[in-house]
Amino acid sequence: MDRFVSPLVALLASFSASAADVVEHAEWQKHFDEKGVRGTFVLLEPANDRYLVLNESRARQGFIPASTFKIPNALIGLEVGSISDENEVFRWDGKPKMRPEWERDQTLDTGMKYSVVWMFQEIARRTGKERMKEWLVRLDYGNKDMRGGIDQFWLQGAIRISAFQQVDFLRKLSEGELPMTQRSQRLVREALVVEKTPVYTLYAKSGSTGMLRNPVNWWVGWVERKGKPRAYFAMNFVPNTKTKYEDRIAITRAILDEAGVLPSGSRPS
């Protein structure tokens, strides 16, 4: 059954998150050094009421969300009807795209998996500026600044979100505490699954601005573990000309392994 979260519950959840302890883990820097990048990492453990953090000052700094914005974009789209359901097909226009995976029809699952920009731009245009702005405020997403155009503001516009804000937002999504229907939250959670084993399920979304001005690479998500509390993560770094897509995943998994969030040796070969 769909349910809405009362403003009081949302307020208490926000207060609890902001009151959590912040514990610095400078030793995680070695994982960024191995890839020749500088960045930050936030691991939220609500069960322990704490954030484990590398580079707290950067973790509190806002960056453009890039394709991590596909998460709220999909949520809002489902809520207002810009996406009918997980089975709706978004038709490829037949024109060449940046990636081969984008040159085909898409659903919510494939659009999220392959980070299909054209599909989510269409979703944003269907939602429209007024409804998008209303929901960014209701979700308290980042700085809520939509300057840059309805289908560009999260790619090269003015919206910004910090690593701390990312994990707080993901916690609410994971636990069904966002101020929207359970259906919308459930469908987006299902689209974010990137790895499922008998022991854990990994939910994640990447984001990248490429090598534009003030570039940033993201990987954000959470881990559900059998018999253990959930853990939420957000990492970002400044890419360089040698950075590979896999670098953000390698850094994140190394830290999650080291922190005991993922089983030792769980990284794919």
pLDDT digits (tens, 9 = 90+) for 99-120: 999 999 999 999 999 999 999 9
H or E element at residue 130? helix 129-139
Instruction: Give residue 43's region: left, alpha or beta (phi > 0; psi -120 to 50).
Output: beta
Task: Return mean pLDDT, the chain.
Answer: 91
Distance CA 181, CA 69 (A): 19
Q: Read off the DSSP letter of residue 157.
A: S
Distance CA 135, CA 140 (A): 8
For 40-60, the pLDDT digits (tens) are: 999 999 999 999 999 999 999
* Confidence class for position 227, pLDDT limits 50, 70, 90: confident
Q: Read off the DSSP letter of residue 206.
A: E
CB-CB contact of 39 with 236 (8 Å): yes
The domain segmentation of the chain, as residue ranges, is 1-63+193-263, 64-161
Q: Tell which residue, 150, 71, 64, has the closest CA to residue 115.
A: 71
Q: Does 67 qualify as catalytic in the annotation?
A: yes
Q: What is the CATH number of domain 1-63+193-263?
A: 3.40.710.10
Domains 1-63+193-263 and 64-161 share a fold: yes
Distance CA 24, CA 143 (A): 25
Q: Which residues on adjacent β-strands are paired with residue 200? A: 225
Catalytic residue among 67, 115, 174, 208: 67
The class of domain 64-161 in CATH terms is alpha beta
